[in-house]
Structure 1
Amino acid sequence: MAPIPRSRPLKKNDFPTFFKPLKPTVFSDLPPNIRGPPLPPNIRALSWSPTGSLIATSTSADIRVWTSERPNVKNSTQLKSAHAKGGVPYGSPGIGGDTVEKVAFCPTVEGVLASTGLDGMVRLWDVRTPGAVTGVGGKGTPALADCRTGGDSAFLTWHPDGKELLVGRRDDVVHAVDVRRMDGGVRYEMFHEKKMERGKHVLYAMAFSNSGREVLATTQEGSVRILDWPSMEYLHTLAGHTAAAYTVGHSPVGAHIAIGSGDSTISLWDTTTWLSTHTLSAPSQTTSVRDLSFSFDGAYIVAGAGPDAKDGMPGLNIFHADHGSVVHTVETTHCPSYVAWHPTRYWLAYAGDTGGMKVIGAGTVL
């Protein structure tokens, strides 16, 4: 994949001047004749493609992939009932869909999307054709490939090389899924291996380090365990929260690891000293932090409350990672649930508000 053009990085004092005038663009598939103010759709995940030209959302049983600069629903791709009940293959007649828990674009191949849901399946999709889904695997089954890990899935994350996935179940069993390209890039096959089973730590999420040599695992005790990849042997613990740690991420430039917790804060850890430099909190963030995202330059970070958004206050705070201060607050009607910065630009997607997913800055060039 060719190098992706990046925006010019903005300094802390310049960011509000650039970002404040930007208005959110609504990406909505709600019927236009709906009466009264619509409730926020139950979006469970957001994911940008590696170039940022596409963004995927999961809502209940469906997946929708949007063209990032074309918010009209006619320009989007829908995977309806992407995870069928009882493990019945996608596309089978008369079968309803189960909840899609997570979607995530492959970090190295544009348009290849992974999904997992309450049916215990992991599926790959090719969404590069606007308005349609391409793939093999048989009539009525547009998924490129799938495999069963069993049990309700809770999280899904790609290895940075785009060849493996980590899939965690709600019973704390974790599978590594090996994604292999076959037949000249036309067909995929997926093989899974059990890496971890339920032990003394309840796991909520996992993320790879930028190098892919470590796995960051959040726990109910409020800590993040750093594990070696692929052995999954214990290396180190980052402990700094009084409630469960729900989400974790490595800054794109490698300077920080951020941990979001049920104590309504985000701790930032310096990856040179392995000390917590500061904790992020603000008045509008009054509920659990279950999702977070760094900007492409690692300078700015945002957080969402995930399924706890119903208990939170409106307002989306944008923090400066090095200083820990709020540089700008986006006004929202409801508490943001899921958040995601564009991979190369200051475009910010968030869910949890009325209408649908919103993207601030879409189409702007810096």
Structure 2
Amino acid sequence: MAPTHRPRHTRIPKDKFSLYFNHLKSQPYNESPAGRPPGPLYSIRSIAWNPVGSLVATGSSDKTLRVWNPEKPNVRFSTELKGHLAGIEKIAFNPVKDAELCSVSNDGVVKFWDVRTKTCVNEVKSLGNAHSLAWAPDGSSVLVGNRRGEVFQISPTKPAALSSRQLPVDINQMAFCWSGEKVFLPTTEGTIRILSYPELEPILHVNHAVKEGESTEFVLKGHTASCLTTELSPTGRYLATGGADSIIALFDTKDWICQRTVSRMVGPVKSISFTFDGSYVVGGCEEGSGLEVTHTETGDHVHTFKTAGPCEAVAWAPTRYCLAYSDLGVLRIVDVDRK
């Protein structure tokens, strides 16, 4: 299923970004005419590329989990992975294995798949109303969170969670630092906690006096409503967070200061993705239309991808300027290297 090798563009300058993409049309990846009709009822909740960018997977609210060859948009070249009995909330490829995919559904079931053989190789149940997951960078474990503030450490080869932890506040879609020693947890209070892994203990503390009985834990503050998702840039320079307040905040990971905010979205930010070089960031919203691309270092708006409707899930490819996104229940890809 892997695509043929093609030369890739190196970093595109900010003032040239729109010139590269203006003339390009997105490629739809439709399922068979006899299959589900496109539309918001069958929304794609999550999009994931494998580590080398040769496969892209989609997980949907109608329980459909599908893996596509980005070079071949016809559905007959895709693979449907069957087994989930509830809507799929989040999917992610193992960061060190090209063909191992993890998915979580809102009935509390996590499945690990070998996409080459189309088989589920491990399953963990009874995780509550699970809705978020993140792979540790070494691919040895997955952290899963549910809507009751519980987090579970899960092995790809064990049928039960390795450990669980009840947190004091509900969390949303989390992200690891690239060493795997820290995990960033966005909360329903609008803050982002920075915890050690796998201990899940606060790493940073305030260095000024607090009232007796109050926590000294240092948290990131960048939203006036629930923080829904977070993503670390490939360079590790910025942590991006998306909130129900329609804002993306960019935190400098050296001083943990919010350097800039992006406020062009019109609805809650459900997903965030950086380009492979960390130069540009895009957010997916559950309202409005269009995808706004922002230059990370300056906060300047550089391009708008026109869409028919809201795009809840977005994902830049890990190796090139190629954006996958959902639009009215259909996967679409726009690739600057496509001939």
Q: Secondary structure at the match of 1:13?
A: helix
Give the letter aligned to residue 358 of structure 1.
R
Distance in 2 separating the partners of 1:109 and 1:204: 25
Give the letter aligned to residue 131 of structure 2.
A
In structure 2, the partner of 1:113 is: 101
Distance in 1 separating the partners of 2:120 and 2:99: 13
TM-score where L is the length of structure 2: 0.89
In structure 1, the partner of 2:182 is: 214
Change (3 A) 1:174 1:33: closer
Distance in 1 separating the partners of 2:141 and 2:193: 20
Q: Secondary structure at the match of 1:17?
A: helix
In structure 2, the partner of 1:61 is: 63
Give the letter aligned to residue 233 of structure 1.
E
User: How far apart are residue 27 of structure 1 and its match?
Assistant: 0.6
User: How far apart are residue 12 of structure 1 and its match?
Assistant: 0.7
User: How far apart are residue 22 of structure 1 and its match?
Assistant: 1.5
Give the letter aligned to residue 149 of structure 2.
D
1:224 has 2:192 as partner: yes
User: How far apart are residue 273 of structure 1 and its match?
Assistant: 2.2
Pairwise mapping of residues 81-92 of structure 1 onto structure 2 (< 5 A)?
A: 82-83=83-84
Q: Secondary structure at the match of 2:18?
A: helix
Identity among equivalent pairs (%): 38
Q: Secondary structure at the match of 1:329?
A: strand
Give the letter aligned to residue 168 of structure 1.
G
Give the letter aligned to residue 195 of structure 2.
L
Change (3 A) 1:174 1:346: same
User: How far apart are residue 363 of structure 1 and its match?
Assistant: 5.1
Give the letter aligned to residue 47 of structure 2.
L
Change (3 A) 1:362 1:320: closer
In structure 1, the partner of 2:147 is: 170
Question: Structure 2: where are the runs of 5+ without partners?
Answer: 1-5, 204-217
Change (3 A) 1:291 1:330: same
User: How far apart are residue 13 of structure 1 and its match?
Assistant: 1.1
User: How far apart are residue 26 of structure 1 and its match?
Assistant: 0.2
Pairwise mapping of residues 92-241 of structure 1 onto structure 2 (< 5 A)?
A: 97-128=85-116, 133=118, 142-179=119-156, 188-199=157-168, 201-235=169-203, 236-241=218-223
Which segment drifts farther, 65-74 or 228-237? 228-237
Contact 2:242 2:271 in 1 (8 A): yes
Q: Give the ranges of 4+ consecutive aligned residues of structure 1 lying more than 6 Å apart after TM superposition.
A: none
Give the letter aligned to residue 80 of structure 2.
Q
Distance in 2 separating the partners of 1:229 and 1:7: 36
Change (3 A) 1:335 1:355: closer
Match of 1:300 among 259, 280, 290: 280
1:345 has 2:327 as partner: no
Q: Secondary structure at the match of 2:134?
A: strand
Distance in 1 separating the partners of 2:35 and 2:45: 25
Give the letter aligned to residue 113 of structure 1.
L
Distance in 1 separating the partners of 2:86 and 2:256: 41
1:46 has 2:47 as partner: yes
Give the letter aligned to residue 320 of structure 2.
R
In structure 2, the partner of 1:250 is: 232
In structure 1, the partner of 2:210 is: none
Pairwise mapping of residues 324-339 of structure 1 onto structure 2 (< 5 A)?
A: 324-339=299-314
Q: Deviations over 1:247-269 (max 9, x none)?
A: 11111001100010111111101
Contact 2:49 2:317 in 1 (8 A): yes
Equivalent pairs, count: 318
Distance in 2 separating the partners of 1:197 and 1:261: 23
Question: Structure 1: where are the runs of 5+ without partners?
Answer: 84-96, 134-141, 180-187
User: How far apart are residue 119 of structure 1 and its match?
Assistant: 2.9
Change (3 A) 1:75 1:319: same
1:276 has 2:258 as partner: yes
Contact 1:7 1:344 in 2 (8 A): no
Distance in 2 separating the partners of 1:256 and 1:313: 26
TM-score where L is the length of structure 1: 0.82
Give the letter aligned to residue 276 of structure 1.
C
Which segment drifts farther, 356-365 or 110-119? 356-365
Q: Deviations over 1:93-128 (max 9, x none)?
A: xxxx22122211111011111111133221111112
